[in-house]
Amino acid sequence: MRDVIVEDGLSPPLMATLHMLGESAMTMRELAESIGLEPSNLTGIVDRLELRGLVERQSSPDDRRIKRVSLTRSGTAMRKRLIERLQRPTPWMLTLSRTDQRQLLTILRKALQSSNAVPATPPEPASSKSRR
């Protein structure tokens, strides 16, 4: 994650917001709930993303008071790069044996279990060519 922050200047809240926005626009409320923020706290985050040309806000056709947020082309490209980077194992993870990776995943799942932030099916540990 540090490389994304350094290279692209994206803070964790900006990354989370880009990550949650997908193909279709979301209302500010929907987006805030998906990230776990109050809508008022999301406003500054969306402002920063909008200034960078990564998202755009539009009034809802049904109710002009409701703002919908969507990715721009630049935002879609940035989101794709972000997801690709975050799916790659970090170098320190590759130094762990597969057994150690599994133990780490078990420990992290236990730590996160109460927040329901853990997928039901665990991913396989990253392959480590030299370790077993």
pLDDT at 29: 92
DSSP the chain: -HHHHHHH---HHHHHHHHH--SS-EEHHHHHHHHT--HHHHHHHHHHHHHTTSEEEEE-SS-TTSEEEEE-HHHHHHHHHHHHHHHSPPHHHHTS-HHHHHHHHHHHHHHHGGGT-S-SSPPPPPP-SS--
Which residues make beta-bridge pairs with 58?
A: 68
pLDDT at 127: 55
Q: Which positions ≥6 away from 55 have C-beta within 8 Å? A: 17, 18, 21, 46, 49, 69, 70, 71, 72, 75
Q: pTM above 0.85?
A: no
Is a pLDDT exceeding 80 seen at residue 2? no
Position 117 confidence tier, pLDDT thresholds 50, 70, 90: low
Position 130 confidence tier, pLDDT thresholds 50, 70, 90: very low
The answer to which of 31-40, 41-50, 96-105, 111-120 has the lowest mean pLDDT is 111-120
pLDDT at 132: 44
Rounded to an integer, the average pLDDT of 118-129 is: 54
CA 113 to chain centre: 19
pLDDT in tens, 57-115: 999 888 988 999 999 999 999 999 988 888 888 888 889 999 998 999 899 888 888 66
